[in-house]
Structure 1
Amino acid sequence: MNNNLNQVIFIMGVSGCGKSTIGKLLSEKLNIPFFDGDDFHPQSNIDKMRNGKALNDDDRYGWLVTLNKLAKEQLQKNSCIIVCSALKKSYRDILNTDIRNNVKWVHLSGSFNQILERINKREHHFMSSSLLQSQFDTLEQPDDAFQVKIGLKPEEIVEKITKEMQMKSEFGLFGLGVMGKSLSRNLAQKGFKISMFNREEKGTEEDVAINFKKAHKELESAQAFSNIEAFVNSLQTPRKIMLMVNAGKITDMVIEDLIPFLSAGDVLIDGGNSNYLQTKQRYDYLNTKNIHFIGVGVSGGEQGALKGPSIMPGGNKETYNLIKPYLESIAAKDANNLPCCTYVGEEGSGHFVKMVHNGIEYVEMQLLAEVYTILKNMGKNPNDIATILESWKPKADSYLLGITIDVLRKKDGDDWLVNKIVDKAGNKGTGNWTTIATAELGAPSTLIASALFARYTSFYKEERLQASNNFNIKPSSFSLDIDDVLKAYQFARIMNHYQGIKLISEAGKAYKWTLNLSEIARIWTNGCIIKSDFMLELIPVLKHDDNILKNAELINQVKLLKPSINKVVSQCVLNELAIPCLSESVNFLNGYTTANSSANIIQAQRDYFGAHTYQRTDDATGKFHHTNW
């Protein structure tokens, strides 16, 4: 049971299953108060049941609200046990209102005949055996409850519940790399009892989990393992295990290692940067084994994972509700103190949205690098550039702007550190996946592709040095108004966000995901790498349209910024300075706003060599034509 947070243990089941008996014994065992839900029924409900009539939802609503209020009051003082039939999920949702993070469910289950025999022996109770079938008809099996068969002796049932609640962890973390360690500490700091697993490698990785636990006071109640079976068995059922391992084959290997020890209803959560298509495959595969799977995008890096990341879960919504209290508790908070975590949508949508987040991130980073290149070419040193970027914060603040300022100010001896870093940019594949996805979906995310290929080009350092000598192309120094550079940067960022959000929208349509773009923007306002003031502006815009370039205010902004991007890009091109994303941003808008493009030539060419046909401007029917050229 959670050591640092008071808990309500709701014991549920049909009438006659022994809830009150078990609840009283458990309260004595745990030394916490006990409340029988039947004692809180209004007289009208009692009279109705005494007359042999089943309660309906309206009858129960006020009673459930009363029990929820009781639970909230008790949580202020202590943990407690409340017994209540809570047969429907909707009833349990009412009881969970605002306290889901502090609730544990126990379901006492038995056969109709077992319970009928018990009810017939019960004296002076307003619930008659004639209503038992209606209880079974109403019962919706809970996914998030610890199941106990009532055939055991009461003392044995209490012992099982006690062991489950006190000795077992609520949540498991598999993999203690940088992100896994930070998330473990974050969960422990929020009061959750967790189990942690990391593999053992003699001579290289030994006692990783145990040493990590010893190193941090908040992990005092955590359990550390290097044995998979022991790790899985340390968790309350249904088990909730978050995988923080490398994407790809390793994720599949870990899943196969875990399967033999899992039970039906357990939940695996992939918190790595997995490909969204593989997430769908894993979801389908585990579904055949009655194991739930959720793909979760996590953004924020090491510090974000520790202090509060942005979290993007995708999969079955009912399954998400089983892990929602944990993810929302550790997530960053937005301006209204709401968690930067929301159910994104079905299948691999969570990982898709995280992938596009990273694509947008690629562009934001490249744009700042290009701004640095321009200002450096204008004779500014790193400290001068940092000061200029600092002055931009009131108009274009973002996490990436802030860290770029820090990077530029960092000294190493007598020189700035940035001057000593080799200009070869790496990547971990998500930009590549985003570029492939935008091509497959036919969405013009040209800036993401440009940012990706800029990194690829940078990697050919030796060839670039040789080409520099062969072609003798050297950027000429030139002067630009700093305000024009800022406006060009703002313009390109609008295009970047348009393209990224449009890509998510197109994926939603193609894969039939139910996506809330405004909510996605909201959870990107804190905890993640692309958080910015501009993202805040997009929340209300995206409530009305998935195309931010149809918003009147943004249209006006773009019109005001356009002369500056034209000026900056033309000066850079004329003076041999490479600015792939800034130039692509203006090329994109120029093409996007062209009412009559050159694509008619493309269609004519395609029809000429491949008989691909074309439509005519003077034929309103939309019929396709072919010409014998």
Structure 2
Amino acid sequence: MATIYIVMGVSGVGKTTLGKALAKRLIIPFYDADDFHSQENKAKMAAGIPLQDQDRWPWLDSIVAQYPLWKTKGAILACSALKESYRTRLKVDQLQVKTIYLSANFSFVAQRLAARKAHFFNPDLLQSQFDTLETPKSGIVCDATLPKEAIVKHIMNAIQRDQASPLGLIGLGVMGKSLARNFANHDIPLSLYNRHVPGMEEEVALQCIRTYPELKDCKGFDDMELFVNSLALPRKIFLMVNAGPAVDAVIDSLLPYLTEGDMIMDGGNSHYLDTERRVKDLQDKGIHFVGVGVSGGEEGALKGPSIMPGGTTEAYHQVAPFLEAIAAKDAQGNACCAKVGSGGSGHFVKMIHNGIEYAEMQLIAEMYDILHFHGKISLTEIADRFDEWNKGETNSYLLEISVIILQKTEDGQPLIDVILDKAQQKGTGSWSTTAALQIGAPFDTIAQAVLARIISSQKEQRLKGQQLYNIKREEIKNIDTTILQKAYQTARMINHAIGFETLRKASAHYQWDLQLSEIARIWTNGCIIRSKTMERLIEILDGFDDNILFHESVIPQLIKGNVALKHIVQHALGAGAAIPVLSASLSYFNAMIQGDSSANMIQAQRDFFGAHTYERKDKEGVFHTDWEVSQ
């Protein structure tokens, strides 16, 4: 049930002005008790005749009669209520009624009243009001001589201490707004904060609360101190701001108001090394910092994302009830949320998730390329093929939305035909590639997917190359879509093997103790790469400490799938198709199943020009050869 706040004090103390400002901050209606006076009472006051108790009781009762209309949203009531008996009359069982007392001396109020025009209250009655006033023994007391903004801030701080929110969220862009609504839909009231930028971002949090009914129990702020003070201790604050300097700026603005044991969670796509740094910096200040990977886009954030928190077990236990409540649910009904490791592991896992996603998207684009541009198959038929694939082992969210994309028309024409072929990226793909190289993890498919986007962005150069070379795409006749599907699924399994092998190496390198089977589980719903393959990987990775390609259940699949993959890559490349991820998956697979490689030539070359030495197959030790000396 909402609260009715009675802003009280003598006439002229500023009850109406403060009440309206407070109502705006709390997003609840404002009422002036003077509007409920009878005409007889107003006439007496205008004539300078003080009201007696017998005049006031009907007035107070008429106000209380409005409570049933106010109790749902709450209300701010500006009312003199000078006597304790009046305030008692205004309190009703089963309703929350709280007093806010505006205190000021006689001379200050007299000056205000002298400046007031066209009001029925006679300034000569002021002394009688001070004589009648009984200072309340409870409630919020404010110095009415302070500036309005200072009084409102004081009142808001006091209110928030009484009604502390269990969780705060900063940043109300698309993702932040959707997450806020998700929390609210799970009965988790929030304090919401968004920066104030004059003329651009003003009262964003309050407007958000007004727009979405599910946020009615949330509080909105653009004042950082008020926001922080509205939170229950220890404070838990979820950041949804742009990665990079913006995160550090928000942390710096929070720190003056935080105390030991408070927690900051970063739900953006921050770089994992930045998260590692923030964890250490804030740990020295007694503040928990948790990097939280969140996947699922706008719809996932609203309806249930996959959530990948890193950090300490202690910190995770504090926020687990909130995060697990809003997360998507797996096939067994468990939350697609789990502590993945320590330090910056949450953002690293999300980064690799995005890398796998890049390659999955590129693979579908390559299937579309082969079928449409080389197979001369219509978009409608490709959509039908993809829809059939999506009913079997190749089922995935990305394939599902690709069917919808191929079927979308605008003015009777396929929309995809007018979309410019310049793929964009936000950085996580290239970050993941760099991170894999830094820890020595092969990243073939994902790196090629990133490079494919970069090449696509060079549209002008590609058009120039087409004109200069004039080598046309060749038609691939009678494409066997069964073989193509098998090649697609084989490449997908290899891509997932590369992604999870990178996680395994990172876990050892950074000592994160990542549980790969559990990561696969939380990726089975809510996230962009959810699929039948991911569901299968839960069992494959459970207790299996090796490359997915070497699992006994995968080997027979890839022996058969490799034949299909080689067939498709050979014919597609021969026809002039650009298939970087399909070909990279085949190259990675070939490299991983060959006991002998050509790297002995590389070692010999390195020793030749740089005396870098080499090892031998036939004897132990490290060797160097003077290659230009004849034997």
Report the TM-score range of the alignment, normalised by the length of the smaller protein: 0.7 to 0.9
Q: C-alpha displacement at 1:2, in angstroms?
A: 13
Quick one: which amino acid aligns to residue 389 of structure 1? F
Match of 1:613, SS state, is coil
Match of 2:220, SS state, is strand
User: For the Cα contact (< 8 Å) 1:180–1:244, is it kept in 2?
Assistant: yes
Structure 2 counterpart of 1:414: 412
Quick one: which amino acid aligns to residue 198 of structure 2? K
Q: C-alpha displacement at 1:427, in angstroms?
A: 0.3
User: 2:2 and 2:323 mapped to 1: Cα distance?
Assistant: 16
User: For the Cα contact (< 8 Å) 2:290–2:309, is it kept in 1?
Assistant: yes
Give yes or no for the alignment of 1:565 onto 2:572: no
Q: C-alpha displacement at 1:348, in angstroms?
A: 0.2
Structure 2 counterpart of 1:320: 316
Match of 2:437, SS state, is helix
User: For the Cα contact (< 8 Å) 1:283–1:347, is it kept in 2?
Assistant: yes
Q: C-alpha displacement at 1:207, in angstroms?
A: 1.8
Deviations 1:19-45 (A, max 9, x none): xxxxxxxxxxxxxxxxxxxxxxxxxxx
Q: C-alpha displacement at 1:591, in angstroms?
A: 1.2
User: For the Cα contact (< 8 Å) 1:407–1:418, is it kept in 2?
Assistant: yes
User: For the Cα contact (< 8 Å) 1:2–1:193, is it kept in 2?
Assistant: no
Deviations 1:103-135 (A, max 9, x none): xxxxxxxxxxxxxxxxxxxxxxxxxxxxxxxxx
Give yes or no for the alignment of 1:178 onto 2:183: no
Structure 1 counterpart of 2:623: 625
Quick one: which amino acid aligns to residue 379 of structure 2? P
Structure 2 counterpart of 1:396: 394
Percent identity, please. Answer: 49
Quick one: which amino acid aligns to residue 509 of structure 1? A
Structure 1 counterpart of 2:464: 466
Structure 2 counterpart of 1:610: 610
Deviations 1:252-281 (A, max 9, x none): 111111111111111000000000000000
Give yes or no for the alignment of 1:438 onto 2:436: yes
Quick one: which amino acid aligns to residue 488 of structure 1? A
Q: Map 1:189-588 onto structure 2 (within 5 A).
A: 189-376=185-372, 377-393=374-390, 394-479=392-477, 480-546=479-545, 547-588=547-588
User: For the Cα contact (< 8 Å) 1:170–1:235, is it kept in 2?
Assistant: yes
User: For the Cα contact (< 8 Å) 1:264–1:289, is it kept in 2?
Assistant: yes
- Structure 2 unaligned runs (5+)? 4-138, 141-157
Deviations 1:332-383 (A, max 9, x none): 0000000000010010000000000000000000000000001102111222
User: For the Cα contact (< 8 Å) 1:608–1:628, is it kept in 2?
Assistant: yes
User: 1:495 and 1:544 mapped to 2: Cα distance?
Assistant: 20
- Structure 1 unaligned runs (5+)? 4-154, 157-161
User: 1:227 and 1:166 mapped to 2: Cα distance?
Assistant: 18
User: 1:243 and 1:309 mapped to 2: Cα distance?
Assistant: 16
Q: C-alpha displacement at 1:544, in angstroms?
A: 2.5
Structure 1 length-normalised TM: 0.73
- Give the 3 Å change call, closer, same or farther, for CA 549–518 of structure 1 in structure 2: same
How big is the alpha-carbon RMSD for the aligned residues of Structure 1 and Structure 2?
Answer: 1.7
User: 1:396 and 1:413 mapped to 2: Cα distance?
Assistant: 32
Quick one: which amino acid aligns to residue 206 of structure 1? E
User: 1:532 and 1:411 mapped to 2: Cα distance?
Assistant: 27
User: 2:457 and 2:357 mapped to 1: Cα distance?
Assistant: 19
Q: C-alpha displacement at 1:163, in angstroms?
A: 7.2
User: For the Cα contact (< 8 Å) 2:276–2:343, is it kept in 1?
Assistant: yes
User: 1:265 and 1:570 mapped to 2: Cα distance?
Assistant: 60
Q: C-alpha displacement at 1:439, in angstroms?
A: 0.7
Match of 1:618, SS state, is coil
Aligned length: 471
Structure 2 counterpart of 1:36: none
User: For the Cα contact (< 8 Å) 1:521–1:538, is it kept in 2?
Assistant: yes
User: For the Cα contact (< 8 Å) 1:2–1:191, is it kept in 2?
Assistant: no
Structure 2 counterpart of 1:167: 163
Q: C-alpha displacement at 1:164, in angstroms?
A: 7.3
User: 1:502 and 1:473 mapped to 2: Cα distance?
Assistant: 39
User: 2:567 and 2:350 mapped to 1: Cα distance?
Assistant: 34
- Give the 3 Å change call, closer, same or farther, for CA 378–243 of structure 1 in structure 2: same
User: 1:175 and 1:473 mapped to 2: Cα distance?
Assistant: 50
User: 1:384 and 1:190 mapped to 2: Cα distance?
Assistant: 42
User: 2:543 and 2:622 mapped to 1: Cα distance?
Assistant: 35
User: 1:248 and 1:602 mapped to 2: Cα distance?
Assistant: 39
Larger Rg: 2
Match of 2:434, SS state, is helix
User: For the Cα contact (< 8 Å) 1:328–1:339, is it kept in 2?
Assistant: yes
User: 1:579 and 1:2 mapped to 2: Cα distance?
Assistant: 61
Deviations 1:152-191 (A, max 9, x none): xxx99xxxxx977851111000000111001100111111
User: 1:165 and 1:489 mapped to 2: Cα distance?
Assistant: 57
Deviations 1:424-446 (A, max 9, x none): 00000000100001110111011
Match of 1:311, SS state, is strand
Q: C-alpha displacement at 1:484, in angstroms?
A: 1.1
Q: C-alpha displacement at 1:330, in angstroms?
A: 0.5
User: For the Cα contact (< 8 Å) 2:293–2:347, is it kept in 1?
Assistant: yes
Q: Map 1:130-145 onto structure 2 (within 5 A).
A: none
User: For the Cα contact (< 8 Å) 1:606–1:612, is it kept in 2?
Assistant: yes
- Give the 3 Å change call, closer, same or farther, for CA 463–2 of structure 1 in structure 2: farther
Q: C-alpha displacement at 1:414, in angstroms?
A: 2.0
User: 2:444 and 2:577 mapped to 1: Cα distance?
Assistant: 20
Structure 2 counterpart of 1:599: 599
